Structure 1
Amino acid sequence: MAKKNINEMSFLDHLEDLRWHLIRIVLAIVIVGAVAFISSRFIFDEIIFAPLEMDFPTYDFLCRCANFINVDTTFCGEKIPLILQNRTMAGQFSADIWTAVLGGFILSFPYVIYQFWKFISPAMHSNERKHSRGFIIVSSLLFFIGVLFGYYIICPLSINFLANYSISKMVDNQIDISSYIGLVRNSVLASGLIFELPIIIFFLTKVGLVTPEFLRKYRKYALVIVLILSAIITPPDIASQVIVAIPILVLYQVSIFISKMVIRNQRRKEKVRV
C-alpha cells in the first residue's frame, strides 16, 4: 500500500508512522546489541575495564605532563587501588545485558538518527530536506566525539580520583561491578548527548524557540549551568571540571554561530519571497 501524503495523514496515522520508526530503532539496537553480547569478553576486558590499568593512554599522557613540570601525581602509580566485586547472583549477567544494550545504542546511533529524520522529513520542504541530510553525519560525528571524550577524559579522571580518595587507611575500595559500570556508562552516554548541543540548538532555532540574541543574553547563566554540570559528571576537583567545561563552552559558542546562520538563511528566504 502506498504511503499517504503528509497532508492527508491523520493524528493516528502519524502515531502509526512513528510506531514503525521506533520498532526499526529497537530492532537495530537489539541486533547490534546481540553482536555486542557475543563479543562481551572483548568489550569488558579491552574497553570497559581498560581505565583500571595504569597503561591507559590518558594516565600515560597525564603522567608525562606531571613529570615534565615535576609534580607528584596519582597518574604515575603502579595500579588503581580498586577491587571490583559482584555482590548479587545476577550481577554479572545484568551487567553483560545492559552493556550490550548500551553498545547496541551507541553503535547504531547513526541509524537511530536516520529513522528520526525519516519521520520528520516529510514535513519539510524539498530544499530543506536536501540541506538537512548532512545533519545525520554531523550529529553522528558529534555523538561519537562526545563518547570518546567521555571514555578517554571523564572516565579515567573520575576513576583515578575516586579510587585514590580515602578517608582512612582502614577502608579499602571494594567496588560493586554495577557501580563501576554505571560510572562508565553515565560518563560516556552523558558526554555523547551533551555534544549534540549544536544540533539541538539548530532545530530550536528553526522552530523559533531560540535566537542568537537569546543565547548571548543568557551566556553567563549558561556558564554557571555548565560548571554545575561539570561538577556532576566529574570528580570534585577544579582541574577535571575545567577540562570538561571547556569543550561544552566551545559547543555553546558554536551553537550561537549555528543559530545565527539559521536566522540569516531564514531572512534571506523571506526577502526572496517578497
Structure 2
Amino acid sequence: MPFLDHLEELRWTLVRSVIAVMVCAVIAYIYSKEIVELLHRPAPDVKLIFLSPTEAFMTYLKVALYAGLVIALPYVSWEFWRFIVPGLLAKERKLVPPIVLFTVICFLLGAAFAYFIIIPFGLKFLVIGFQNEFLTANITIGKYLGFVMTMVLVFGVVFELPVLAYFLSLVGLLTPQFLRSKRRYGIVIIFIVAAIITPPDAFTQSMLAIPLLFLYEISIWVSAAVQRSKKRKAVLEG
C-alpha cells in the first residue's frame, strides 16, 4: 500500500476512534451521577461541595469524557490493531492477543490498586486525619474527582512498566543485567517521576514510588525471562 494510502487509513482510524469515544462519553454522561457516586465510594466521609454555578456541570462532563475513553478503549484498540496487522508477520500476529490481554490486566490492576488502596488510605491520612474542632475539610467536587481520576489513570499507566520491559527486552534494547546495575539510578528516577505526576505532597508521592519500586523488580524478572527464552530459542535453532 502506498504511503499516502497509509496516512489516509490512519486518518480514518483516528476519526472512527474519536467518534467512538464521543458516543461513549454521551452515554456515560447519562449515567454520570452513578459514576460520580462510584468514584466517591473510596472516601464516603469526605463531603463534596461546588463553589460556582458551572463547576458541578463541568466536572460531570469531564467525568463522562474520561469514562467514554475507558469504555471505548476496546474498540479503539481494535481499530489500531486492524491498522497495524497487515504489516506484521504471522508469528508476530500470534503474540498480539496475549500481549494485549497482559496490558489490559496490568492497567486494571493498577487502577484497582489506586481505587481500593491508595485513594481510601491517602484521603484518610490527608483529609480525615487532619480534621478536628478547629479544621474542617471543604473539598470541591472538581478537586476531589480530579484527584481520584488522576490517581486511577496514573497507577493504571505505571503498572504497564513490566509490559514496557517485555517489549524492550524482546527487541534487545533492555537486559536484566542493565536493570540490576542501574538500580540505584532507577530508584532516584522513580522518586523524581512520582514527584512530577502526583499531587505535591510527600505522602502521595511515596504511595506511588513504592509500587514503582516493586514494579521495577518485576521488570527485572520479566527481562530475565525474555533473555532465557531467547537463549533457548537460539540453542534450538543453532
Matches within 5 A, 1:227-238: 227-230=191-194, 233=198, 236-237=202-203
Asked if the contact 1:143/1:192 (under 8 Å) is kept, the reply is yes
Deviations 1:11-61 (A, max 9, x none): x3333232222223223322322222111121112x1221232xxxxxxxx
Alignment match, 2:100: 136
RMSD over aligned Cα, in angstroms?
A: 2.9
2:43 equivalent in structure 1: 52
Q: What is the one-letter code of the residue matched to 2:160?
A: E
Higher alpha-carbon deviation: 31-40 or 117-126: 117-126
**Alignment of 1:33 onto 2:6:** no
- Name the residue aligned to 1:182: 146
- Which of 15, 19, 25 is the matching residue for 2:11? 19
Gaps of 5+ in 1: 54-78
Quote the Cα distance in structure 2 between the aligned partners of 1:112 and 1:205: 26
| Gap change, CA 1:113 and 1:209, over 3 Å in 2 | farther
In 2: Cα distance, 1:39 partner to 1:204 partner: 40
Q: How does 1:1-274 map to 2 (within 5 A)?
A: 4=1, 9-10=2-3, 12-45=4-37, 47-53=38-44, 79-80=45-46, 83-164=47-128, 166=130, 170-230=134-194, 233=198, 236-237=202-203, 244-267=208-231
Which residue of structure 2 lines up, in the alignment, with residue 57 of structure 1? Answer: none
Between the aligned partners of 1:43 and 1:167, the Cα distance in structure 2 is: 27
Residue identity opposite 1:147 in structure 2:
A
Distance 1:185 1:97, change over 3 A: same
Q: Deviations over 1:70-118 (max 9, x none)?
A: xxxxxxxxx44xx422123321111111101111222333333333333
**TM-superposition CA deviations, 1:218-240 (whole Å, max 9, x none):** 22222233344456637534xx7
Matches of 2:153 and 2:91 in 1, distance apart? 33
Q: Which structure is higher in helix share? A: 2
Structure-2-length-normalised TM-score: 0.83
Identical residues among aligned pairs (%): 36
- Separation in 2, partners of 1:123, 1:259: 26
Distance in 1, matches of 2:115 and 2:173, equals 33
Larger Rg: 1
> In structure 2, how many angstroms separate the alpha carbons of the residues matched to 1:139 and 1:189?
14
Distance in 2 of aligned mates of 1:167 and 1:184: 20
Q: Number of paired residues?
A: 236
